Amino acid sequence: MDLGQANDKQNHSTVKEFVLLGYQEYPALLFTFFLATYTAILLGNGLIVVVTTLDPALHTPMYFFLRSLSGLEMCYTSVTLPKMMASLISGDHSISLPACASQMFFLLFLGATECFLLAAMAYDRYLAICQPLHYMRIMSHRVRIGMVAGSFAVSLPMQLFQVGIIFSLPFCGSNEINHFFCDIPPLLSLACADIHSNELAVYVENIAFVIIPFLLILSSYVQITKTILRMPSATGRQKTFSTCSSHLTVVILFYGSAMIVYLRPKTPESVKVNKLLSLLYTIIIPLCNPLIYTLRNQEVKTAFRRILGRKRP
């Protein structure tokens, strides 16, 4: 082996662990904020799961999907927040290579599953509003379970492949990830190889797991809007639209932030923007989901009072 090859091998030594920089200022304040947020996410989404499970009046397709989404959100935030809080309280921001790969996989897997689950919820609203006479026949219990299980099954192999090709890259030089967790864009910037094929794979996968479900949601709401506008009563239009407004709000927040992070071109400011947006779709949206879906939902509030014994069925 000549000197040039030896130097090249040395310069491309394998990175054993990464350091998640995130925001290291004011650790006590950030820890308190993340702890309160994580507790609220688990309590809020857990309450939706319990209420929609225990109350027979909420055993409908819409609340079945809402229960699935709430359970998914609790898992999604559990991938990042406990590690972030542990780093803040201990001061150790390192993460091993296998742990980083696992964290990235579960983030991508659960995030892609949520994209398909939101599309399934949009289809459910389309059937309920545009095909009400056939709604319960089409959206049977077996179909609902199949749609949720399919959302997980479609996402699993693609995300395993995505994480596999990313962590097959050589990493050298700096091991500092300028992010809160192991995400694709900051990790690819540390690779010591040509990453154009990886970036192309990211774009292709985002088209499959972000754009296609978003187009399905958009087409559902186009038909829903046409149906609502044909209703003769303004009260009926408002009441019908209110059943979709919560889901539409979550779709706009989730897809908007995800598209900006993963599909927009790189700029010098993109690192800071992506860090802020990552807080939106990994923490703020799961925190707001229980409020968005229950604040104006009289059925859920009534069911909660029945479970607490304040009101008899």
Q: Is 209 helix (H, G, I), strand (E, B) or coil?
A: helix
Domain membership of residue 169 (yes or no) is yes
What percent of the chain clears pLDDT 90, i.e. is strictly above it? 35
Concatenating the DSSP letter of every residue in 245-290 gives HHHHHHHHHHHHHHHHHHHSPP-TTHHHHHHHHHHIIIIIHHHHHH
Domain membership of residue 147 (yes or no) is yes
Query: What is the C-alpha separation between 117 and 247, in angstroms, rounded?
Result: 11
Concatenating the DSSP letter of every residue in 151-171 gives HHHHHHHHHHHHHHHHTTS-B
Query: What is the predicted pLDDT for the residue at 104?
Result: 93
Confidence of residue 265 (pLDDT cuts 50, 70, 90): low
Domain membership of residue 177 (yes or no) is yes
Confidence of residue 267 (pLDDT cuts 50, 70, 90): low
Domain membership of residue 125 (yes or no) is yes
Q: In what order do the strands lie in the sheet with 17-20?
A: 94-96, 17-20, 176-177
Query: What is the predicted pLDDT for the residue at 303?
Result: 80
Domain that holds residue 157: 19-307
Q: Which of 200-209, 262-271, 273-282 has the lowest mean pLDDT?
A: 262-271
Query: What is the C-alpha separation between 219 and 225, in angstroms, rounded?
Result: 10
**Mean local confidence (pLDDT), 192-212:** 82
Angle at which helices 234-263 and 285-294 cross, to 10°:
170
Confidence of residue 266 (pLDDT cuts 50, 70, 90): low
Whether the CB-CB separation of 118 and 213 falls below 8 Å is answered with yes
**Mean local confidence (pLDDT), 234-251:** 81
Per residue in 109-127, pLDDT (tens digit) is: 999 999 999 999 999 999 9
Whether the CB-CB separation of 123 and 220 falls below 8 Å is answered with yes
Domain membership of residue 168 (yes or no) is yes
Q: What mean pLDDT is reported for the chain?
A: 84
Helix or strand run (H / E) with residue 33: helix 27-54
Per residue in 9-29, pLDDT (tens digit) is: 444 446 778 898 877 778 889
Which residues lie below 8 Å from residue 126, measured CB to CB, with a gap of 6+?
Answer: 220, 221, 223, 224
Query: What is the predicted pLDDT for the residue at 198?
Result: 81
pLDDT of 188 > 80? The answer is yes
Query: What is the predicted pLDDT for the residue at 210?
Result: 82
Domain membership of residue 313 (yes or no) is no
Q: What is the CATH number of the domain that holds 85?
A: 1.20.1070.10
Whether the CB-CB separation of 247 and 121 falls below 8 Å is answered with yes
Per residue in 272-301, pLDDT (tens digit) is: 777 777 888 888 888 888 888 876 677 777
Residue keyed to tokens 């379970």 = 145
Confidence of residue 268 (pLDDT cuts 50, 70, 90): low
Distances (CA, A) of 271 to 150, 182, 221, 260, 277: 33, 13, 33, 11, 10
Please count the structural domains in the chain: 1
The dihedral through the CA atoms of 118, 122, 128, 133 has a sign that is negative
Query: What is the C-alpha separation between 303 and 48, in angstroms, rounded?
Result: 10
Cα-Cα end-to-end distance for the chain? 81
Domain membership of residue 68 (yes or no) is yes
pLDDT of 74 > 80? The answer is yes
Domain membership of residue 7 (yes or no) is no
